[in-house]
């Protein structure tokens, strides 16, 4: 039976929990478990902690009233970085980490500015990833710019927790309403203000003038800005301008502006923020509190991060003797100890079969002798049964007897075997406070293995038959402290099945953000190959330069002296044996210097478990610091237990979504639907991001942020705030070197896949979300990105385009709106740009006539997509002569609000 789209959507939203593990829970109207983490690079400042507390305390009361006495902040942990001095009031952190914090405090990148924002790339109603505040936001007075910090926090919390979106639009700040008036993009329309243009100010004077109409669009000129009145009566909306004193509520169905061209309307089908918030899981479990008393103030815990503690718990049972598993495990573990684990970490090792043995208590990783001390004890013989619980218990003992706490320590558990008793130690695992990363090696690894990762906030991986899957998994398990410049970065991970006496070649770009601690590693299955490596300047390294391991685990590595040269490195491998053998190349490196933020890539799926026929979404985030990297090629490889691989090119076009594969264009989040189900079981994800031919660039603009207020009108006087930093630079993008990054996205479990699958009978085309419309003489020109036959893949069958003079007609009764003839419109391949032009007949068209247009897509099985975003086109006939005189007013001195002081406005 084919499930309809509503059922599929329900499964996506409710059975596929987000991969980022937040510790927040709502109990008796109060949020517990909120983690606010300070980045290790932030200088120690007691005032920062105090101001964070004041922000949350104020936000708690503001949130309580905004949610109509339903929700407040009860318990909050502030995670102090390990780089700060220890104090008696600091408690030891447990499973809290910077990597999984709800709020992070970190410096911006490239002096981007102090706009608070939320990393949010899911669907309407889905939780975001984290809120980012800069230290400067807390340490300077931003009251005039953003409003009080508590109000800003509630604005961002709504993004993070309830998946609502901003109600302003910096790219389309004005629109023509159904009443033929030009309105500022806002919610609600009861917020009043003036529309002004600020020209650059020569000397100590400034030209301020009223906005003129653009003769081509009928809207205001490009630099026109809405300046709100400081004194308002409107109570909503927090998602537009929380800085106004009168604003204390979210827009409701009664006050919501459905016409505004903002992201909230686009992403949430023109529903109000309050409607989305009311549908959240929080509100299903939180009735309004009785009485009139405010909620109690939040309780704060100051937690100090500790140096990293990791214990390897490795399976050496009899089944590890098959398919070279023991060799591959040892190769990957050695690579982890030498190339991945951060210096200064404490590392131990336990091996297990039916019993377990502590091979190494915790050893501080300081030099080559330290990791050799551990690698010397890697298991050489596989035999016996499998007792995962015994392995974990000995791992805990290795940590405790090294005078460390299991709370916040990490265990890397690798096994290929089944264990019927694994659930017997779940309680002990939970009580330990340890974070357990699991690596399932092969298809027979215990099915309950992932439960250990899920309950402790660890990563989960699945590796199949070649060494690369294991290396990729180990490479992904880096520090959770936020010290990005210290983390290992994977540049290459390739496997070659080479016939006898044949060469294979490859290239690896090393960009200017990396190059420290760079390793080239080669592994083989039969005989050591001949190796030639050449740097960008022509210097060659040969086989003799590669150091072979002492454990005979068929690997050799070369550590590049100093900083690896920037440019393209080339390698060649010769299979010296007469028979075919598997050769692999792995390249890892670190940031060029402690002050150089590297380009990084992270990946994950939209959930841990897929219940067929729910689609999964593959996400890859590519960034430098906090800035998105655009214009690159990102490819995902998803592999099943039987070795079947699906290759997906990921997109950052923000164009097509079935409730949102890629929701926002140019945000550095590359995504795509995955529907190529090939049986049940574990699926692994690997992502390769690469930039070639100098096409990569940084996006210096952020989505989902607190609105920067350029100024206010108070008692008839325009009071300006300081300009934004990027306005100084007048730059929105910056170039990035060519680069290559590889990362594991962990594993998912797929259930319910039938023996044969016809995806066209299951998945409709994606929803179009970037439909645009404009008049050209008497015709309307449409453009959009083509969806697919199956979500965002293939070619659809045809389009249904409907038009109306009324927005509500398309929203509420699309099927009866006027149909546009599309006989000449043949859908293109998914991802292509579609263009279509038509005359709006039988409507009468004159100056000021407005039309609303929307599209549905039909696939070969006659499944219909959701209705697209609704585009608007207004017939505007430019006047013969300018109708608006120059209203410029020269003001020699005006009030300028900078940290509450009035000064003379001057050139910035």
Residues with active-site annotation: 156
- List the structure tokens of 324: 């070279």
Report the distance separating Cα 600 and Cα 723, nearest Å: 31
* φ/ψ of residue 238, rounded to 5: -65, -30
Are 368 and 333 in contact by the 8 Å Cβ rule? The answer is no
Residue 311 gets the label, from left (phi > 0), alpha (psi -120 to 50) or beta, of beta
Q: Using DSSP, state whether 773 is helix, strand or coil.
A: strand
Pairing of strands 410-415, 435-441: parallel
What angle do helix axes 467-476 and 325-335 make, rounded to 10 degrees?
30
**Can you tell me the distance from the alpha carbon of 866 to that of 767, in angstroms, rounded to the nearest whole number?**
5
DSSP-derived letter for residue 67 is T
CA distances from 59 to 71, 149, 295, 831, 900 (A): 11, 8, 11, 42, 22
Could you tell me if 492 and 504 are in contact, meaning their C-beta atoms sit under 8 angstroms apart? no
With tokens 């993009």, the residue in question is: 185
Phi, then psi, of 688 in degrees rounded to 5 = -120, 120
Closest CA to 342 of 167, 172, 479: 479
Nearest to 646 by CA among 721, 775, 750: 750
Contact predicate 683/744, CB 8 Å: no
Q: Which residues pair with 829 in a beta bridge?
A: 795
Q: Among 439, 412, 602, 605, which residue's Cα sits nearest to residue 19?
A: 605
Name the pairing type of β-strands 435-441 and 460-463.
parallel
Strand order in the sheet with 779-785: 772-776, 779-785, 833-838
Of residues 464, 457, 422, the one with CA closest to residue 439: 464
DSSP H stretches of helix in 323-386: 325-335, 368-375
Are 142 and 898 in contact by the 8 Å Cβ rule? The answer is no
Could you tell me which of 96, 109, 128 has the C-alpha nearest to residue 18?
A: 128
Longest dimension (CA), the chain: 92
Point out which residues pair with 645 in neighbouring strands. 639
Segment holding 61, helix H or strand E: helix 46-66
Residue 18 backbone phi and psi in degrees, to 5: -60, 150
Contacts of 13 (CB under 8 A, 6+ apart): 123, 125, 126, 659
Residue the block writes with tokens 């091979």: 359
Task: Report the distance separating Cα 200 and Cα 867, nearest Å.
Answer: 44
Q: For residue 635, what are its two tokens?
A: 């490819």
**Within 720-787, where are the H helices?**
725-729
* Rounded CA separation 233/594 (Å): 50
């Amino acid at each position: 039976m084919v499930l309809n789209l509503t059922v599929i959507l329900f499964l996506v939203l409710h059975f596929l929990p987000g991969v980022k593990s937040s510790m927040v829970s709502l109990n008796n109207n109060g949020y517990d478990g909120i983690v606010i983490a300070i980045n290790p690079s932030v200088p120690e400042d007691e005032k920062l902690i105090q101001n964070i507390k004041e922000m949350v305390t104020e936000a708690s009361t503001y949130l309580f009233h905004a949610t109509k006495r339903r929700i407040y902040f009860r318990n909050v942990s502030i995670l102090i970085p390990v780089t700060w001095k220890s104090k008696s009031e600091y408690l030891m952190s447990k499973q809290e980490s910077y990597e999984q914090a709800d709020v992070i405090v970190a410096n911006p990148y490239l002096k981007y500015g102090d706009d608070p924002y939320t990393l949010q790339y899911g669907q309407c109603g889905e939780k975001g990833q984290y809120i980012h505040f800069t230290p400067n936001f807390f340490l300077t007075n931003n009251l005039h710019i953003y409003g009080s910090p508590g109000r800003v926090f509630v604005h961002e919390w709504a993004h993070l927790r309830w998946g609502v979106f901003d109600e302003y639009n910096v790219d389309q700040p004005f629109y023509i309403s159904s009443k033929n008036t030009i309105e500022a993009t806002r919610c609600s329309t009861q917020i009043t203000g003036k529309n002004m243009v600020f020209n650059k100010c020569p000397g100590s004077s400034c030209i301020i003038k009223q906005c003129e109409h653009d003769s081509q669009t009928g809207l205001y000129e490009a630099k026109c800005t809405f300046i709100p009145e400081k004194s308002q009566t409107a109570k909503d909306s927090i998602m537009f301008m929380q800085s106004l004193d009168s604003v204390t509520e979210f827009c409701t169905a009664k006050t919501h502006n459905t016409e505004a061209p903002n992201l909230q309307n686009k992403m949430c089908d023109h529903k109000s923020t309050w409607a989305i918030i009311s549908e959240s899981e929080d509100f299903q479990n939180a009735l309004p509190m009785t009485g009139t008393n405010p909620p109690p103030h939040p309780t704060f815990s100051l937690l100090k991060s500790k140096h990293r503690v990791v214990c390897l718990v490795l399976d050496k049972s009899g089944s590890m003797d098959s398919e070279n598993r023991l060799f591959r495990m040892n190769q990957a573990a050695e690579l982890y100890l030498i190339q991945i684990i951060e210096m200064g970490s404490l590392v131990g090792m336990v091996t297990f079969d039916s019993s377990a043995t502590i091979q190494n208590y915790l050893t501080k990783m300081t030099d080559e002798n330290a990791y050799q001390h551990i690698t010397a004890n890697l298991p050489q013989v596989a035999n016996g049964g499998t007792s995962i619980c015994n392995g974990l218990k000995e791992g805990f003992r290795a940590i405790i007897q090294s005078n460390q706490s299991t709370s916040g320590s990490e265990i890397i558990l690798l096994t290929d075997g089944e264990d019927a008793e694994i659930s017997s130690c779940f309680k002990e695992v939970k009580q330990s406070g340890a974070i357990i990363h699991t690596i399932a090696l092969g298809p027979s690894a215990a099915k309950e293995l992932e439960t250990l990762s899920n309950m402790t906030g660890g990563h989960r991986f699945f590796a199949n038959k070649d060494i690369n899957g294991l290396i990729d998994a180990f490479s992904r398990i880096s520090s959770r402290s936020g010290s990005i410049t210290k983390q290992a970065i994977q540049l290459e991970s390739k496997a070659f099945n080479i016939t006898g006496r044949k060469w294979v070649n490859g290239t690896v770009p090393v960009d200017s953000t990396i190059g420290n601690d760079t390793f080239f590693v080669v592994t083989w299955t039969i005989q050591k190959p001949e190796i030639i490596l050449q740097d960008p300047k022509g210097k060659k390294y040969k086989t003799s330069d590669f150091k072979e391991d002492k454990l005979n685990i068929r690997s050799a590595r070369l550590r590049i002296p100093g900083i690896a040269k920037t440019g393209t490195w080339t390698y060649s491998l010769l299979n010296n044996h007469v028979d075919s053998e598997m050769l692999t190349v792995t390249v890892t490196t670190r940031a060029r210097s402690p002050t150089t933020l590297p380009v990084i890539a992270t990946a994950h799926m939209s959930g841990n478990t897929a219940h067929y026929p729910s689609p999964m979404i593959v996400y890859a985030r590519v960034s430098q610091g906090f800035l998105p990297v655009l214009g690159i090629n990102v490819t995902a490889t998803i592999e099943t237990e039987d070795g079947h691989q699906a290759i997906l090119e990921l997109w950052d076009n923000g164009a097509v979504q079935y409730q949102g594969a890629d929701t926002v264009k140019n945000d550095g989040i590359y995504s795509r639907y995955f529907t190529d189900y090939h049986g049940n079981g574990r699926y692994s994800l690997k992502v390769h991001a690469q930039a070639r031919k100098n096409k990569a660039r940084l996006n210096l603009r952020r989505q989902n942020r607190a609105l920067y207020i350029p100024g206010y009108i108070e008692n008839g006087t325009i009071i300006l705030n300081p300009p934004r930093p990027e306005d100084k630079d007048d730059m929105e993008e910056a170039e990035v070197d060519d680069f290559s990054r590889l990362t594991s996205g962990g594993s998912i479990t797929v259930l319910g896949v039938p023996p044969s699958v016809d995806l066209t009978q299951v998945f409709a085309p994606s929803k179009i979300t970037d439909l645009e419309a404009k008049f050209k003489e008497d015709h309307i020109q449409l453009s959009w990105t083509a969806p697919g036959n199956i979500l965002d893949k293939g070619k659809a069958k045809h389009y249904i385009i409907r038009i109306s003079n009324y927005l509500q007609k398309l929203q509420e009764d699309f099927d009866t709106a006027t149909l546009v003839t599309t006989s000449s419109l043949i859908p293109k391949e998914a991802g292509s740009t579609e263009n279509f032009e038509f005359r709006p007949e039988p409507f009468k068209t004159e100056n000021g006539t407005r039309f609303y247009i929307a599209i549905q897509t039909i696939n070969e099985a006659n499944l219909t997509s959701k209705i697209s975003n609704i585009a608007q086109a207004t017939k505007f006939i430019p006047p013969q002569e300018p109708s608006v005189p120059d209203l410029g007013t020269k003001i020699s001195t005006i009030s300028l609000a900078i940290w509450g002081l009035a000064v003379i406005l001057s050139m910035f």
